[in-house]
Structure 1
C-alpha cells in the first residue's frame, strides 16, 4: 500500500515536468539543467536548506534522514561505478558476450530498484519524524531532479539526435 501511494505521489509530481519538457524547446531543458547546476553549486546541503526552508523543529526531523539517505546513495553509486568498470574491463579485453550484457542490464535494474526503495524508506522516515508532508514530497522531488542531473553529468550516455 505504501509503495503504491508513493509511486502515485511521485508520478503525479512527474507529470507536470513531463508536460513541460515535451512541449518545451531544447534550449529550455538546457536552461533548466544549468539553473539546477548553479543552484547546487554552493553545496547540496545548502541547496536543500534553501529549497525546503525548514523550521528548527523540521531541521531536527530532516537532517538525520537526509544524512542516512546520502550515505545510502553513496553506497549505491559505488556499486554502480564498480559494475560499470567491471563491464568496461571485459569489453576492453574483448571478452564481453551477450551474457555479460544481460547481467549488466539485470544488475543496473536492481540498482534502480534499490534506489527507489531507498527513496521510499527515506520518505517514510521523514513523515514518521514529523516533517510536513509537503516538505517530504518536495525533498523526494529534489532528489529525483538531482539524480537526473547526476546521470546526465556522468557523460556516458549515447549522443542524442534532435529532430
Structure 2
C-alpha cells in the first residue's frame, strides 16, 4: 500500500483519479464446448437466491486436439475500474479500510472484478473453475451474484 511507503493518505487522496485491476482468464475451447447443469454449489455461488434454477446452463470444454485436451483456447481480460468519487477521496484521506472503500465504489456503480468474471461464466466464455483461480468467489457475498440472467 502507498501508506507503507510513507506517503500520507491525504496526498494519495488528492492525487488519485482512479484505479484499474485486470486479470486474464482462459476462454472455453469453441471446438469442444459443452453445456451442463450447474451443481447446487455452483448455482449458489453465481446467482441470487431468487433466480430460477430450471434451464440454467453453464459451459465447459471437454478437451480436444484443438485445445490440446485442456478445454480452453485463448484468453480474455476481465477488469474493474474504480473512479475516485468525492466520498471515496474522503475515505482514502481518512485511511478507511479496503473493504469499506470497495463497498462505497460498488454503491457508486463500480462493477467488481468478481462480478465481471461471473458474467463471463454465465455467458459461457469461461468456467467457474477458471474464475476461482484468480478471484475469491464467496458464498456469503450477495453483492457479486447475478440477479438477472440477461
TM-score bin, normalised by smaller chain: 0.3 to 0.5
TM-score, structure 1 normalization: 0.30
Name whichever structure is richer in strand by fraction. Answer: 2
Name whichever structure is richer in helix by fraction. Answer: 1
